[in-house]
Amino acid sequence: MKKRIALMLLAGAMVVSCLSGCGVKSTSDTDQNGEKQKLYVVNWKDYGSDDADFIAAFEEANNCEIVNTYMSSEEELLTKLRTAKDGEIDVCLPNCSILPAAIEEGLLKEVDSSKLENFEKMFDRFKEQPECIKDGKLYAVPFVWGSTAIAYNTNLIKEAPTSINALFDPQYAGKITFRDDYNDAVMTAALVTGQDANNPKDMDAIKAKLLEQKKLNKTYWKTGDEFSKLFASEQISIGMMWSGQAAFMKQEGQPIAYVVPEDGAIGWVDNWGIAKGSQNEELAYKFIDWMISRDFQYNWAVNGGPAPVNQEAADSLDPEYAAGAGMDETSLNRLTFMQYRTDEVKQTWNELWTEVKSSK
């Protein structure tokens, strides 16, 4: 009898622990405004297109409704594009890591930049971004950008670091946190060893540098939340960090400063594309034009969003705020933007990083 009670308790406990592990997903796809045109957008959650304050004006002006579907990874977006039926996706937001694959497979429509009033207002670098173009044709429009560089605690470090080498500096031993990500690790070590961060040749030098760096860390971090905890409890004083989260933490009142150092750091760009099966092309163009407009980009940037591609929006920002969030033109020009990589390169880089992490 007692055995049975014990087993029941155990079984019950297991069920409960399973249940608590998975959240309940809810879809709020109410179909109240039947006549309104719908624009189907695939985007990250809380990434501009689902902010009611920002999009209300657009929805009203065009008598439409924006229906967001969220992606949790770039690969997932690629799968969605491959499997979507016509009309299921109008606009989506691939970054440069999957964009060439999406274009190659014919998943995106060619974009006519003359239909976008704001296209010419972008920084030149974004008008000619190689990943968006194939055979001289444009397939995607840059939306926002950011960087992965250095953040430090201004209470603990008085002098701003000027080199990416700070993450490799024994002066901060035990107080550094590096990111557990093969791409960030290899690219950063390539910058430090003076190589082209997108096409490093001397992988042994990179491995040696990362092994040397490993001993200086408090720990590696993977999710933004892990970094926040390390920072808030002052376990670390300096670390690799994303521009967006550093700006957010600063707004929260943390003593954090963000630097894109003189010798460079890693940059990324998110781009809007129009899905091959879109039945709403005209509205899709209007939407993209709105997303890269000065007003939208400025408003989002000052409310904790990533850096604008629209030069007018960037110029309107408070210079001090922009510099502090790594959104200024000086930071932009220092970045090496992450490029598309083949699976083979990914495997090689990942294996190198695994070796670094698993060595004693």
Q: Which is closer to another protein, CB of 84 or CB of 98?
A: 98
Closest to 277 in 3D by CA, of 134, 112, 88, 83: 88
Least distance to another protein, CB of residue 356, Å: 9
The interaxial angle of helices 224-232 and 243-251, nearest 10 deg, is 40
Is the CB of 98 or the CB of 327 nearer to another protein? Answer: 98
Q: Output 33 or 73, the one with its CB closest to another protein.
A: 73
216/301 with CB nearer another protein: 216
Taking each helix axis from N to C terminus, what angle separates 343-358 and 182-192, rounded to the nearest 10 degrees? 80
Q: Which residues contact another protein by CB under 8 A?
A: 2-3, 5-7, 9-10, 13-14, 16-17, 20-21, 75, 180-182, 214-215, 217-220, 222, 226, 229, 233-235, 343-344, 346-347, 350-351, 354-355, 357-360
Phi, then psi, of 173 in degrees rounded to 5: -50, 135
With beta carbons less than 8 A apart as the criterion, state whether 27 and 21 touch.
Answer: no
Q: How far is the CB of 269 from another protein (least distance, A)?
A: 20
**CB 6, min distance to another protein, A:** 6
Stated length of the chain:
360
Rounded to a whole number of angstroms, the minimum distance from the CB of residue 235 to another protein is 6
| Cα 140 from chain centroid (whole Å) | 16
CB of 275 to another protein, least distance (A): 21
Total H helices, total E strands in the chain: 15, 13
DSSP of 321-336, one letter per residue? HHHHTT-SHHHHHHEE
Task: Considering the complex, state which of residue 98 and residue 301 has its C-beta at the smaller distance from another protein.
Answer: 98
Per-position b or e across 210-226, b if 16+ CB within 10 A of its CB: beebeebbbebbeeeee
- What's the one-letter identity of residue 275? A
Rg (CA), the chain: 23
Residue closer to another protein, measured from CB, 30 or 358: 358
- CB nearer to another protein: give 10 or 156: 10
| Nearest-approach distance from CB 109 to another protein, in angstroms | 26
To the nearest whole angstrom, how small is the minimum distance from the Cβ of residue 326 to another protein? 25
Question: Which residues 6+ apart lie within 8 Å of 165 measured at CB?
Answer: 192, 263
What is the spatial distance between Cα 213 and Cα 135, in angstroms, rounded to a whole number? 41
Least spacing, CB of residue 222 vs another protein, in Å: 7
